[in-house]
């Protein structure tokens, strides 16, 4: 089943989302710890509390370690936020969000009620959005590179360049769950191929198969 979804960047072409009838759950990488907003004072207090009453004498060491790890993780979950913004764009702002929504509305109107006026209005809104986007990128570049040491922060500079160019957002590892197993990389690709082979009605001659 195919569905049209939101446009990407400034393109007028709509991506197509294909839904497969066979159930395969996809998981992205696990949320990361956000150490920029951690509360180490609270973490220290909580770890003291949860580890103080762990009974050690006469117990199996593996169970003690399991309780200790569970306490540390419980304290971390309460004092260190988790998660990272997907497709983070350092230049994005409320004004860009407003212009993007306005552009989407103009595109929907042009598609629903095609006319010269609606097409002209769409191009005008699109041009305004792109101009403001370029301005926001340049401003973000100046502000963020002003504090970088270009001799030491070359990796940060490279990542910033990718983010400003909307690059590198598709590098998250995708994991497939199939037949009770988690698959990634080549195994996940082979599972996709097996699924397509099962549902495909395309005949391929033996010569082409070889």
Let me know whether 112 and 166 are in one domain: yes
Q: Going by C-beta distance under 8 Å and a sequence separation of 6 or more, which residues neighbour residue 90?
A: 140, 144, 160, 163, 164
The per-residue pLDDT for range 139-180, each reduced to its tens digit, is 887 777 777 666 666 676 667 666 656 655 544 455 667 777
Could you tell me which residue, 87 or 117, shows the higher pLDDT? 117
Let me know whether 106 and 154 are in one domain: yes
CA–CA separation, 115 vs 37, rounded Å? Answer: 50
Residue carrying the six token digits 């920029």: 36
Let me know whether 157 and 93 are in one domain: yes
Return the percentage of the chain with pLDDT > 90, whole number: 6
CA–CA separation, 139 vs 201, rounded Å? Answer: 52
The alpha carbon dihedral of 115, 120, 121, 122 has a sign of: positive
Domain ranges, residue 129: 85-171
Let me know whether 110 and 158 are in one domain: yes
Alpha helix (H) residue ranges in the chain:
40-52, 61-79, 94-112, 116-145, 154-164, 185-199, 206-209
CA–CA separation, 125 vs 103, rounded Å? Answer: 6
Let me know whether 116 and 45 are in one domain: no
Among candidate residues 19, 52, 79, the one where a domain is terminated:
79
Let me know whether 140 and 73 are in one domain: no
At 178, phi and psi to the nearest 5?
-145, 130
Let me know whether 106 and 160 are in one domain: yes
CA–CA separation, 120 vs 108, rounded Å? Answer: 13
Let me know whether 188 and 206 are in one domain: yes
74-88, 154-168, 182-196: which has the minimum mean pLDDT?
154-168
Residue 183 has pLDDT above 80, yes or no: no
Residues in a beta bridge with 175: 27
For the chain, how many structural domains are there in total? 3
Let me know whether 188 and 153 are in one domain: no
Question: What pLDDT sits at residue 172?
Answer: 47
Let me know whether 106 and 125 are in one domain: yes
Let me know whether 91 and 163 are in one domain: yes
Let me know whether 122 and 111 are in one domain: yes
């Amino acid at each position: 089943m195919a569905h049209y979804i939101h446009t990407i960047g400034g393109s007028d072409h709509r991506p197509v989302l294909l839904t497969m009838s066979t159930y395969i759950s996809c998981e992205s990488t696990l949320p990361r710890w956000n150490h920029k907003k951690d509360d180490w004072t609270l973490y220290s207090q909580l770890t003291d509390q949860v580890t103080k009453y762990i009974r050690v004498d006469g117990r199996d060491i593996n169970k003690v370690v399991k309780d200790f790890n569970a306490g540390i993780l419980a304290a971390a979950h309460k004092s260190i936020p988790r998660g990272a913004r997907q497709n983070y764009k350092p230049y994005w702002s409320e004004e860009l969000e407003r212009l993007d929504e306005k552009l989407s509305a103009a595109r929907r109107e042009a598609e629903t009620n095609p006319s010269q006026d609606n097409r002209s209005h769409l191009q005008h809104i699109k041009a305004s959005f792109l101009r403001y986007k370029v301005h926001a990128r340049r401003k973000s570049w100046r502000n963020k590179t002003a504090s970088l040491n270009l001799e030491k922060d070359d990796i940060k500079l490279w990542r910033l360049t990718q983010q400003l160019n909307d690059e590198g957002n598709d590098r998250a590892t995708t994991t497939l769950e199939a037949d009770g197993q988690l698959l990634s990389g080549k195994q996940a690709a082979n599972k996709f191929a097996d699924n397509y082979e099962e549902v495909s009605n395309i005949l391929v001659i033996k010569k082409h198969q070889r």
